[in-house]
């Protein structure tokens, strides 16, 4: 079966940056959910600076489970998720990407930054017309957030170097699939140039 024809969408006039789960639980290999992600942190940092320089909206996501009932099936499937409690260091945004005042951290329970959250409402309030989605992990929360971004009618860009996964094959396969159907997967430099205008 041949690939579908597709049209690149690029960025709109007012893109928002969504840093997906750039929290210690995923950026620190000491956590059972984590991996060595220094390159991804550095790439996300460059994006973050570009968005701040232009005064464009920035949003973060984290995963927090506040009681035993929340996302029960997901947590039964992946028991390592149970470390993501409100009092755990693992739910905090990595210090290298620390949010500034006015940069919201959206608390979620499942893969997508949109599912069960007010992310869409906040994006609309900020006047965002497109998204740059980066973070961890490509095959899980980045993919889910990018797909839901499209399903909420945003143009979505995923910077290749600003995403990562514990499994390199899953990383590449998901970037391929995202680019084929849901988002523009672009080089980091091209995204930064596009944001800089």
- Which residues touch 135 (CB under 8 Å, ≥6 apart)? 18, 19, 20, 21, 22, 26, 40, 44, 61, 141, 142, 162, 163
Structure tokens at 125: 């309030």
Structure tokens at 159: 């910077």
Cα angle 29, 34, 39 (rounded to 5 degrees) comes to 75
Annotation marks residue 134 as catalytic: no
DSSP line for 128-156: --EEEEEEE-IIIIIHHHHHHHHHTT-EE
Q: CA 38 to CA 197: how far, in whole Å?
A: 27
Q: CA 22 to CA 98: how far, in whole Å?
A: 10
Residue of 31, 44, 134, 141 with catalytic role: 141
Q: CA 113 to CA 62: how far, in whole Å?
A: 9
- Positions annotated as catalytic residues are 141
């Amino acid at each position: 079966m041949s690939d579908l024809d597709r049209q690149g969408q690029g960025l709109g006039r007012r893109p928002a940056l969504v840093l997906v789960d750039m929290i210690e639980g995923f950026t620190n290999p000491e956590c059972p959910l984590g991996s060595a992600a220094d390159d991804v942190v550095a790439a996300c940092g460059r994006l973050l600076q570009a968005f701040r320089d232009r005064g464009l909206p920035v949003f973060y996501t984290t995963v927090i489970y506040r009681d035993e009932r929340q996302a029960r099936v997901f947590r039964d499937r992946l028991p390592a998720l149970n470390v993501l409690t409100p009092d755990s260091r693992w739910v905090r945004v990595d210090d290298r990407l620390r949010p500034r005042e006015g940069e919201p951290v959206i608390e979620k329970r499942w893969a997508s930054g949109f599912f069960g959250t007010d992310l869409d409402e906040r994006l609309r309030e900020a006047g965002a017309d497109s998204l740059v989605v980066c973070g961890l992990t490509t095959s899980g929360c980045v993919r889910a957030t990018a797909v839901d971004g499209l399903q909420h009618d945003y143009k979505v860009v995923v910077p290749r170097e600003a995403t990562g996964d514990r499994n390199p094959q899953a990383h590449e396969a998901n970037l391929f699939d995202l680019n084929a159907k849901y988002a523009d997967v672009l080089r980091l430099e091209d995204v930064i140039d596009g944001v800089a205008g």
